[in-house]
Chain A
Amino acid sequence: MTSDVRKIDVDYLARVEGEGEMHVKVVDGKIEDVYFGIFEPPRFYEAFMEGRPYSEAPDITARICGICPVAYQMSSVHAMEYAFGTSVTGQLRALRRLLYCGEWIESHVLHMFLLHAPDFLGYESAVHMAADHKDVVELGLRLKKAGNAVVTLVGGREIHPINVKVGGFYKTPTKKELQTLVPELEWSRDAAIETIRLVSGFSFPKVEQDFEFVSLSHPLEYPFNEGRIVSNKGLDIAVSEWNDYFLEEHVERSNALHSRIRKRGAYHVGPLARYALNFEKLTKSAQDIALEVGLGPVELNPFKSIIVRGVETLYAIEEALRIIDQYEEPASPSVDINVHAGVGHGASEAPRGMLYHRYELSSNGRILKAQIVPPTAQNQLTIEDDLMVVLEDSLELPDEELTWLLEQSIRNYDPCISCATHFLKLNIERVTTE
């Protein structure tokens, strides 16, 4: 019997933040196996935190990802505050949103311009793209810098911000300091609109998936730090119920845990999910431009996530400007914490999607057990589903083009696999047996 086995193995994915791998096996024209794997450092950090004081969690977990340290800090402080029965309100709460705005701008712009746009424009990398589209890259770099400035000012440092603590901040900025951010944010608002128009002109593979979108939802605002966990298929739970409705499973060949909704399966977190579940909470101008460039209030094509990132960037800029405009310096940079034994849950919306933390604490505030569920682990099954659909439609493509398309599909999720070391090794193998 003749058997044609075609394998595509990408051991290390380029333009993915961290390390990832993809394996595809096609036997006699039939897809036999699709696997997307990540090396997941949260496991190390979960163990590392056991026995340490609650107050160290924001700084330790921020090390997990160089691109989204704020998300890790936010989910951890909210979990601790939940456990201690404290809530941070008023201007301190607004400052947390502002810090998150900065991170969304940084992360979304980095991904759109340097990692994802080259896919759509047919360039191997941002460097190749810059040779022909210098103005586009320069637009992206300036926009990104506006986000960097917000994180540096509110977060207290350029990388791995250190100003966040359980209960608030170590130091809060003055009104005058925040106002220095305004001119560049105002320029950025126009630049974001230009960006949305630019990326919506790309051509998109015609792929639509019947996703179960999951994100936080808050009655009054587009979600960053607070809300219930909802889905477009009826889920509506408190953050503290995460483990009752979601399941993390070990999968062979990976040290990462795959998440699924109990009794249902794969789900999708990230910009497309937030957008679909919170469209009406976007600013009017963000809604208008989204509809103008052809997005519906719900977008099911994962390749169009690049446009939604643009829309969320615009939202983050406008929200930052609103917070700065309404800012009044708080009397104290943090609220008091009443340490006692307990269990804390926190979820916030990292640029890549919902990030859940859970901590068990002793009576003196030591961490007994930590659970961290990053967005990429939650998207892992959905990414594999997408790869399957793309493969089925494109099997006739030669290996090189097919690999490109599959990598692009993975990059739709901007998978953040940790701020790791960055080796690159690509290996495509085609096997024919007779």
Chain B
Amino acid sequence: MEPRAVVIGVGNRWRRDDMAGIAVVDQLRHRVGTEVDLVESDGEPTRLIDAFERAPQVIMVDAVVTGAEPGTVHRFTDTQLPDGMGIGQSSHLVQLVQTIQLGKLLGKLPNGLVLIGIEASDFDNGEGMTSQVEVGVQAAVEAVVGELSA
């Protein structure tokens, strides 16, 4: 069966809060069936573009920095992201927003995508997220489940 949705968690497991997106995907493994493809990404653009093509519905989850309280969960659509989003708001911003733009330009995102962002604060080397971000991850899991059933 072809998956109907792909959820891509972006981050680095060894840069503390930066792993938030991947933590969401880890938890979704117990919540969704084979109709949802789960992908872990380190933000490398060409593999991300490949992942866009895996299913009609694309949801991306990443740590973001917008100035909100750590743990806050944001929702952006692809049309809300580029240009207007500005600099320094996603931990993989340079590649991430550009990769989304590139994916759209190349026709790989015919239905657009939704980005679930988790406000993060600690990007130090090491494992383990801050407690607020761990709470945010739980909320983000529910947000993704909501997107999938919408």
Contact = CB atoms under 8 A, between A and B. Distances in A.
Interface string A127-147: 100110010011011001100
Interface in A31-48: 41, 44
B109 to A, nearest CB: 13
Contact of B46 (A44, A114, A421): A114
A114 B102 CA distance: 10
Nearest to B46: A144
A340 interface: no
B57 interface: no
Interface stretch (A307-315, A347-355, A357-365, A422-430): A422-430
A110 B106 contact: no
Nearest to A147: B46
A140 B49 CA distance: 12
B89 to A, nearest CB: 9
Nearest to B11: A421
A420 B105 contact: no
B130 to A, nearest CB: 14
B119 interface: no
A276 B23 CA distance: 45
A131 B105 contact: yes
A422 B106 contact: no
B49 A141 contact: yes
Which of A14, A144, A421 has most chain B Cβ within 10 Å? A421
Given A14-B94, A66-B12, A137-B106, A159 B44 contact: yes
Contacts of A138: 106
B7 to A, nearest CB: 15
Contacts of B126: 44
A125 B47 CA distance: 18
A421 B15 contact: yes
Contacts of A131: 105
Contacts of A145: 46, 50
Contacts of A114: 45-46
Interface size class of B (residues with CB under 8 A): 20 to 34
Interface in B46-91: 46-47, 49-50, 65, 87-88, 91
| Chain B residues touching A, majority SS | mixed
Contacts of B43: 66, 419, 422
A422 B93 contact: yes
Contacts of B15: 420-421
Given A141-B49, A159-B40, A424 B12 contact: no
A137 to B, nearest CB: 7
Given A66-B12, A423-B88, A41 B125 contact: yes
Nearest to B14: A63
A422 B46 contact: no
A15 to B, nearest CB: 7
B50 A420 contact: no
A160 B98 CA distance: 23
A130 B18 CA distance: 29
26 contacts: A41-B125, A66-B43, A66-B44, A110-B45, A114-B45, A126-B98, A131-B105, A134-B105, A145-B46, A158-B47, A159-B44, A160-B42, A419-B42, A419-B43, A420-B15, A421-B12, A421-B18, A422-B92, A422-B96, A423-B65, A423-B88, A423-B93, A423-B94, A424-B88, A424-B93, A425-B87
Given A130-B106, A134-B106, A159-B44, 7 more contacts: A44-B125, A145-B50, A148-B46, A421-B15, A423-B93, A424-B88, A425-B87
